[in-house]
Structure 1
Amino acid sequence: MPKVISYTPPWLSRPSPGASLFASTTRKDPASLKNPKDAKYDGPSRSLARRGNEVFTVVDNQIRWSNLTRLKDEWQQHERSKDAQKASADGQVPYRTLVVPVYEQIRQIIPSPNGAFLAIVADHTVFIAVLPDSSHLSSAESSPIRVKTYQLGPTTHVIPESPVVSALWHPLGAYSNLGGCLVTVTEDAAVRVWELDRNNHWSFDRPTLAVDLRKLVDGTSSDQDFAPSGFGRNRGFSADYIDMEVASARFGGVGSEKEDAWAAMTLWIAMKPGDLYALCPLLPSKWRAPSAAIPSLSAAIIPKMSALEEDPLDYDDQLTACRQQYEWLAEIDNQEPLQIIPGSETEPESEILARPANPSAIPRLQGPFRVDMGDEVDDLDLCDILVVAAKADTEALMLGEDDELALDSGDDKVSATVIYLSSRSGRVYICLELEGVEGQWLPKAKKNVFQTPISEGSDLLLVEALNTVSKQRQSAETWPVFSPDAHSRYSCFVTTSHSVVFISLASWIQRLEAELQSDDTAGSGFRLQILCEGNAATLEPIIQVDDGSAAGTQSFHLPAALVYHDYDLGYLLLTSHASNSSAAVLEKPDFFPSFSLQSDAEPSGSPTIPPHRPPYQVPSVLYSDSPLEFFVDNQVPHRYRSSLKEPVLLSPATLDLVAAAHRILSAHTNALERAASDLFRRCERLQGELREQLGQISDVADRIKGVSSEIGADGERKEGSRSSAVLDKRLQAAKYKQTQLVQRYEALRNKVLKSGGRPLSEKEESWIAEVETLSESFDKERKEGDNQRISERLEDVKQIADALLSEAKSAAARIPATQEPNTPASPTSAQPRVPQRLQRAKIADAMKMVERESAVIESITTRLARLNAIV
């Protein structure tokens, strides 16, 4: 659980120049109501985005860019040189404005994984902006930059159509400075895959793959037309239109080698009533395959199909699905890579492959997955979804031959999919999907055969439900969104309308994985039930925003928080509201370097005391421009402006002008009164807290004086003072109680380890039995004095070891030459081939095993020599 070290840093607060990054520069009418489009908007707010240490924000429907590291460094330099006033007088703007032709209200901005593009999502339209390089944006110029922008699907995403709820960059897309892959999901359950190419403008006009989930859920054959209906067509009415209203979508993985190979191909779609669906595999025509993805799929599909073929009658449906997976994998394995992407320090080597044409490019819609709420049957009214992929099964990939590779997936990962769901009421549901989602397709059409759609629903295991919003804060405009944590995969931040809270499953996940991987199933059901009944997740409020800090009385919603995890910035959580930044500097995780950055305001030797509340943020109404200037420039007709400088004449026009000005001024003064009253209440509360603190300090001082008055200058107790027997008795009682608590803790700890500990594997049990047998034989023969028999056995073991070593070397030399064209490893075989690097790894593992046996024999020889010397 991260602790808050400090709130909004000074380089993002007024009067530093960095505070102007989120400040509005447009003069607005404080008496005017919100835009009707804003009032009708019902969706996520993601107006903040990051690219490394850079930040993109939407202010006054304009996109601003800045580098947080640069802002912090410049502020520190100004503080050291005491030249902050001069810097502010220069009038340099610490941000650049990106000019984009978007006239609707911008709701979401999503940078591409390589940082070359920025997806801009409005209410109904989507734009793709080509982002300039960081060095170009960091120049001394402060003028706005007009970036190259493409409208995505001008005839697809239009104003009368269904709004876009999610825009996701595909984790397995092929990205470069010229193109990428974006997936858009609309509220009417239409999923579109856009493979963007700047050299081909048609790629921005039409998607390469479009699926209507409301048609796909009732589909019976892969030959049907599942494309969404065209613009302006009458779609009729169906019950699915209500049950399949999309709230949010999220991919199940990030394309890492350490996660399940199907996860990054799976698109999870959350419907507002509470159902979840999955599309697997959803791939573009050209996709990036991690180096371990194809071998991992081969190691999972081929043994499964072999086991199902032994009894095909009982598992007919599963065998059909497995054969489809095998056919899909065989087509991938028989093709040559279109491109090989070299590895780097952070990412291994990967290949660009073509999407298989068989069984179909459109997968079957799996689901619905429902949250088991018990007796509650009401709709959940979901808002957002976050999926954490299950870890890769490296033991099945390496067939248990390399225990070290089995530990590469990490101890903080679990072999189950974790799903976070948020609802309009502010509740967060944490669920587990234990069976796993694999690739499935609809069958081919058969003539004269009537088929009914098969929709197999399943329940998710509900781990815990948490309330992130108090009853006083619950409103119809709350739309909680998730922000993944940079420290742990099973931790996240939830941004609500007025707060940001932290949720973590890290400690519970480790205990869960120990039970899931345990070979001893006796009592595992009871232990899993106890684990799920306890408190699995921890919740901690990080940022709280008061209504008094907002401009006027208009409601607002915090944008999704950004998480920075860097040496320069530390562990920073950032969001914004009402022209102000709202941030929190969190305690650095354990894996950070031992050195730490000291703040300029804190001495290096002073302890860090966590703050009790965020610092006071000056409301924007106190430093905003006068509304009368806005009134005169925009609302007073030109024919009446000359009369403002003349004596006041009693007339109906003058009365209307005065009444309109009074409405403007009264709203502004009301906002000023609210801001001033909030400041007054804070000052009164601060005075009361100071009095309380002074009283506590006075009591402590009196107690210290009472204790020190009984002790002389030599450190001995004065004569006539209270006896020390009472104090010694209390000290002994406290020590005894502490000892008892430690003993109870150790007893409970040992009991838990014995009951829930992992049993020995078969390899470990056989090794122990072999060591005991060898030890007994040595002891017996030493007592009998038969040293000659031991030496003969040693010679036999050496001969066997030499023979095994020679056979292994000869087998390694014969493998490339004895390979037949129809073997499974052949490229022309119908079965998936085994990569050359995997074969070399197998041979290297065998050599290591032989070397280990040789080392064991040498150690036994040394021990026997010592025994002979002793005898």
Structure 2
Amino acid sequence: MPKVIGYTPPYLSRPSPGSKIFSDPDPQSPADTSKQSSYIGSKSASQAAYQGPRRLIASRGTETFTVVGNRIRWADLAAVRDEWEENTQSGTSRFGLSRSATTEGGTEGSVYRILISPSGFFLAICTEHTVHIAVLPDSSRLKEQDRSPLKVKTYQLGPTVHVIPESPLASVLWHPLANATTSTDCLVTVTAEAAVRLWEFDKSSNWSLDRPKLAIDLPKLADGVSCDQDFEPSAFGKTRGFSVDAFDMEVSAAVFGGRAGAHESAWASMTLWIAMRNGDIYALCPLLPSKWKPTSTTIPSLTTAAVSRMALINDDETDIDDRRAADQQYEWVQEIDEEEPEIHRSTDSLGQFEVRFRPQNPSAIPRLQGPFTIFPEDDDTEIEISDMYVFAARLDEDDLFDGEDDEDIHDPVGTPVPFTTICVATPDNQIFIAIDLDGVTGQWLPKKRKNAFSIPTSDAEHLTLIETLTLPDQSSKSPPNWPLFTPDVAYNYALFLNTTDRIHYFDLTDWVFQLGAELTGTEAVDPGLQARLETRCQDQITLLEKLLDNVEPSEILSAPAIIDDDSLGFMLLSPTNLGCHGIIFQPNYYKVPTLTPSFTDLSASSPSRMNSQLVKMPESTIDTVPTREPYSPARVFYENQHLPLDSLRKKLPLHLKKSVTERPMKLSPAMLEVMTVTHRVVGVQSTYLENAAAELFRRCERLRNELSSQVEQMTLLAQQLKRLSATEGEDEDGEAHQIRSPEQRFHDAKEKQKKLVARYEALRRRVGRAGSAKRELSSKEVAWIEEIGTLGKNVGVSSEENQQQQRGDEGTNLDRRFDTVKNLTHSLISESQQIAKHQSSPKALPARLEASTSSISNSSITPSMSASQITIRSGTTASPSGSTLSAGFSVSSRLQKERIADVMGLVEREGAVIEAAMKRLERLRTEY
């Protein structure tokens, strides 16, 4: 969620000259009925009756186009800011970096919407019934010395189609996949009577401006049974019969399902979603111009989806309609694959892009899919939709490009999202968020056949309603409320929502990617998936924040424009009939490497791919002071004070005018009436002035109180700092000394650390010497040793307890080996004696001698006696037995001598090892 760091910039606030960009600096005096202002706040009958979207500002980089009256004000905000800073420093008030633009032929009625094409070459100027395409001038025209209004060349779309008696316009959209150039582009218009027209205009061809390339009447298409039928809307002037669809299919909003992004689903950018007043939602897919520009993933995604769907079809079990839809998609995609694309070079870079032709089979007009409803069947809730926005599903590029050798053909886009998210707003300030798990793909009506008749299905398809948000009620205002969505430039799943007097922001990013990661898990579905999904749906789905609500009752907010520029920052501008409201966000918010958010998994054993690929920018640990929108003087201070009296004077009859201005004033009923009306007008004007002055007085008093409270807070903070400094500045004896710098304090801390380490080492050696006397330690000494160990850990010194323990284990091991050698020696001597006594039984002697010899040779532990002693005893023991063995068992003396020599050599080696071990053991005991 963006962090608000400021409000309307000073160079766009009164009394700065930049505020004139969004207001009329020269009000008419006297008022002229032939030149009525078309402010959105005027109380004319046409303005009061209008109910629809208001988008009175558009941006192109740092340039803004704002509707002021019947003119369009054009300015470069970066240049306006620079000139304001220069004028502030020099003390001048020169201002001339904005220009007014007027259309050549003029517009019929008030302008309610302006939309800049994605290419930045054209501007769509929309009234309630008409659409004009203006060719935008070059930015260098703003630097000209001539400040006169600039005449802009405009072209009207369909002079005989969009006319006053016909249905008003419900939505105007630029096609995201259009092959836009400096002279051509594609625009889609949708009227309230559900007539969709696709315009591929060329400013050099008047015919392309008179008739659309595609014209579709949605009520006819809903009842259509074949793609060979005529679905064009009725011509102008023809009477229409009664139809139930005239009430059920009254369009309120339309939007494309994608923004031509490479990470989006291939069908998203060619799907037109249409919302009806009664809450029903329809979809047209695919709706393409005759020449369209696919993204890098569009063709591979379409081919993969069509082939996969054909492979899953089973002739015995698949429904006939599903089989026909799969065949149509395969035929449509096959025509795209067999086509040789046109390669064009981009104008803004050295890259190239493809341009393809729209397939003609099965048809250029798709089937109308829907209606989609966001409420379950058992819910009878009825809503009125004011606007709709659709978040496209995200591709799984790992599966799409699986097996490709070239790793540079695509960039990772993060966690895939296999569902479409739909947001719906109502005039009652309610927001409904639903998801479409099945998705919308291309569908067409069947070809016309003989003796074949099919009834189109009209069953509603239910979307999955996720959450319902209710915004605060709007203030009591006469104009109707019409909430509008504006997408965020930082996150793909975030929106700004403006009502009549408020601007809200809500973000679905974290929840959408968490749910997408759960639904696209590659591992097997575990029993905990349902519980995790229920937990995610029960938690908070969207982050809602109110950004702006400090609007005067006479102001009506327009849909904002989002400006994202390195020089200006990240800001939002929303014009009104009295000026402009702005919000400045934290710059680091939109400088994010990718658009996938980081989140925490609910379960460590989750089978889904919950690995996030985004590292958000770390927020500053120092929080800025909360800001609020600065005070803007009331409009009554800047209005022409003579305008009400001049208007009243103009309405007076001729004889009363002469009696008031030329003749001496006489008391009469007519003059009393004039004075009474004048008193009412002056009274209303003085009331406005009194209220504005009172508001200014209240704000001044509040400013004084806030300043005094802040001074008190700063005083208390200064006192606390002095106390802390004084406490830190006292030495051990309590005497104060000079306050040390942070570098000095850090150096002192390091010195103190070194002293603690040296003290710990000294105590450790002392404890080691005390333990070498082999006496039991007292309880105080044991506690002292534990305290020293704890101190060592706190200080950060690595203890040598492991080394001491290792040495102690080694000494214990040597003692154990020494005891074992002694036992073996005694057993060997006893066995030798027994052999000498029992010479009468020679059969057991070789076995015993062999066992004794093998025990000595296989053991790594030797007797504790010296090698000479062992040799003498072994010799005396073996000497008498040698003759006996050779005589009784025919064992050669040579073999006996060799065996005894081997045993003696082994004993000597082991004896040397034992002597070295004994010396080492004595040395270790001496050290300890």
CA contact (8 A) 2:336 2:359 kept: yes
1:262-273 matches, cutoff 5 A: 262-273=267-278
Q: How does 1:368-767 map to 2 (within 5 A)?
A: 368-372=371-375, 376-401=379-404, 408-411=411-414, 414-470=417-473, 472=475, 477-519=480-522, 520-522=524-526, 523-547=528-552, 554=554, 556-589=555-588, 592=591, 609-626=624-641, 627-628=643-644, 630-631=646-647, 634-636=650-652, 641-646=657-662, 647-690=664-707, 693=710, 713-714=730-731
Deviation per CA, 1:300-342: give whole Å up to 9, x if none.
111221221x4454243222101101111222223333x4222
Does structure 1 residue 83 correspond to structure 2 residue 90?
yes
Change over 3 Å in CA distance of 1:475–1:311 after alignment to 2 = farther
Kept in 2, the 8 Å contact 1:711–1:718? The answer is: no
**Equivalent residue for 2:80, pick from 71, 77, 92:** 71
Structure 1 Cα separation of the partners of residues 134 and 273 of structure 2 = 26
Give the superposition deviation at 1:429. Answer: 1.8
1:809-867: per-residue Cα shift (whole Å, max 9, x none)?
A: xxxxxxxxxxxxxxxxxxxxxxxxxxxxxxxxxxxxxxxxxxxxxxxxxxxxxxxxxxx
SS class of match (1:625): coil
Match of 1:193 in 2: 198
Higher relative contact order (CA 8 A, sep 6+): 1
What letter corresponds to residue 87 of structure 1 in structure 2? Answer: R
CA contact (8 A) 1:5 1:611 kept: yes
**TM-score between the two structures when normalised by the length of structure 1:** 0.74
Q: Are the structure 2 counterparts of residues 677 and 379 from structure 1 closer, same or farther at C-alpha, using a change threshold of 3 Å? A: farther
Query: Is residue 9–residue 582 contact of structure 2 (8 Å, CA) maintained in 1?
Result: yes
3-state SS of 1:259 partner: coil
Among 102, 107, 112, which residue is 1:102 paired with? 107
TM-score of the aligned structures, taking structure 2 as reference length:
0.70
- The amino acid across from 2:16 in the alignment is S
Residue 339 of structure 2 aligns with an amino acid whose one-letter code is: Q
Which moves more between the two structures, 640-649 or 365-374? 640-649
Change (3 A) 1:507 1:20: same
- Give matches, 1:282-301, under 5 Å: 282-301=287-306
Which of 354, 358, 366 does residue 355 from structure 1 map onto? 358
State the one-letter code of the partner of 2:692: A
Q: For residue 601 of structure 2, what is the aligned residue in structure 1?
A: none
Partner SS, residue 165 of structure 1: strand
Asked if structure 1 preserves the Cα contact closer than 8 Å seen for 2:490 and 2:590, the reply is no
Contact persistence 1:504–1:539 (CA under 8 A): yes
Matches of 2:263 and 2:139 in 1, distance apart? 31
**Residues in 1 aligned to 2:647 and 2:416: alpha-carbon distance in whole angstroms:** 59
- TM-aligned CA deviation for residue 673 of structure 1: 2.5
Aligned partner (choices 207, 225, 229) of residue 212 of structure 2: 207
1:41 maps to which of 50, 68, 78: 50
Secondary structure at the aligned position of 1:282 is classed as: coil
Q: 1:372 and 1:716 mapped to 2: Cα distance?
A: 78
Q: Write out aligned runs for 1:786-801 (5 A).
A: none
Spell out, residue by residue over 1:160-180, the C-alpha distance to the aligned partner (whole angstroms, 9 max, x if none). 111101110111112122221
Number of positions where the alignment pairs a residue of Structure 1 with one of Structure 2: 696
Residue type of the partner of 2:634? P
Q: Report the equivalent of 2:334.
A: 330
Match of residue 794 from structure 1: none
How far apart are the structure 2 equivalents of 1:323 and 1:434? 22
Deviation digits for residues 383-407 of structure 1 (CA, Å, limit 9, x no counterpart):
1111121123323432355696798
Task: Report deviation, 1:134.
Answer: 1.4
Q: Which residue of 2 aligns with 1:54?
A: 63
For residues 606 and 517 of structure 1, the distance between their equivalents in structure 2, rounded to whole angstroms, comes to 36
1:173-210: CA deviation from partner (whole Å, max 9, x where unpaired): 12122221110001111101111111211211111111
Report the CA distance between 1:241 and its aligned residue: 1.9
Q: Deviation per CA, 1:543-565: give whole Å up to 9, x if none.
A: 22332xx5xxx4x4211111111
Highest CA radius of gyration, 1 or 2?
Answer: 2
2:23 aligned partner, one-letter code: A
Residues 369 and 460, structure 1, Cα contact 8 Å, conserved in 2 = yes
Match of 1:758 in 2: none
- Residue identity over aligned pairs, in percent, reads 42
Supply the AA of the counterpart residue of 1:167: V
2: CA distance, partners of 1:207 / 1:672: 53
State how far apart, in whole Å, the 1-side matches of 2:42 and 2:270 are: 44
- Distance in 1 separating the partners of 2:517 and 2:571: 32
Deviations 1:467-524 (A, max 9, x none): 3333656987111111111111111111111111111112222322221221232132
Distance in 2 separating the partners of 1:326 and 1:513: 28
Structure 1 window deviating more from structure 2 (445-454 vs 61-70): it is 445-454
CA distance in 1, matches of 2:405, 2:646: 73
Tell me how far apart the structure 2 counterparts of residues 268 and 220 of structure 1 sit (CA, whole Å).
21
For residue 278 of structure 1, report the CA deviation from its aligned partner.
0.5
| C-alpha distance in 2 between matches for 1:610 and 1:712 | 31
Could you tell which deviates more after superposition, 179-188 or 10-19?
Answer: 10-19
Q: Secondary structure of the equivalent of 1:658? A: helix
Question: In the alignment, which residue of structure 2 is the partner of 1:229?
Answer: 234
C-alpha separation in 2, matches of 1:526 and 1:347: 51
Q: Please, which of 236, 251, 262 is the counterpart of residue 256 of structure 2? A: 251
Displacement of 1:97 after TM fit? 3.0
Partner AA of 1:649 in structure 2: K
Quote the offset at 1:669 in angstroms. 2.1
Residue 804 of structure 1 corresponds to which residue in structure 2? Answer: none
CA distance in 2, matches of 1:222, 1:566: 47
Residue of structure 1 in register with 2:755 after alignment: none
Matches of 2:654 and 2:73, distance apart in 1: 34
Per-residue deviation, residues 526-551 of structure 1 (Å, max 9, x unmatched) = 2122111110110111222332xx5x
User: Residue deviations 1:229-263, cap 9 Å, x none?
Assistant: 22232222222222211111001112222211111
For the 8 Å contact 1:49–1:110, the answer to whether it is kept is: yes
- Confirm or deny: 8 A CA contact 2:374 2:463 kept in the other structure: yes
Query: Residue deviations 1:329-388, cap 9 Å, x none?
Result: 222223333x42224777963222222221111100111111136865222211111112
| Separation of aligned partners in 2, 1:216 and 1:716 | 95
Match of 2:370 in 1: 367
Q: Which residues of structure 1 form unaligned runs of 5+?
A: 595-604, 720-871
Q: Distance in 2 between matches of 1:516 and 1:17?
A: 54
Specify the alignment match of 1:770 in structure 2: none
Deviation at 1:572, TM superposition (A): 0.8
Contact 2:416 2:520 in 1 (8 A): no
Q: Which amino acid aligns with 1:365?
A: L
**Equivalent position SS for 1:431:** strand
What corresponds to 1:15 in structure 2? 15
Residue 260, structure 1, aligned to residue 275, structure 2: no
Cα distance between partner residues in 1 of 2:46 and 2:174: 27
- Which amino acid counterpart does residue 513 of structure 1 have in structure 2? G
2:309 maps to: 304
Distance 2:350 2:498 in 1: 30
1:74-115 per-position Cα deviation (integer Å, ceiling 9, x unaligned): 122223xx2242426xxx463333345014011100111112
Q: Distance in 2 between matches of 1:717 and 1:543?
A: 55
When residues 710 and 313 of structure 1 are mapped into structure 2, their CA distance, relative to the original with a 3 A threshold, is: closer
Match of 1:141 among 143, 146, 150: 146
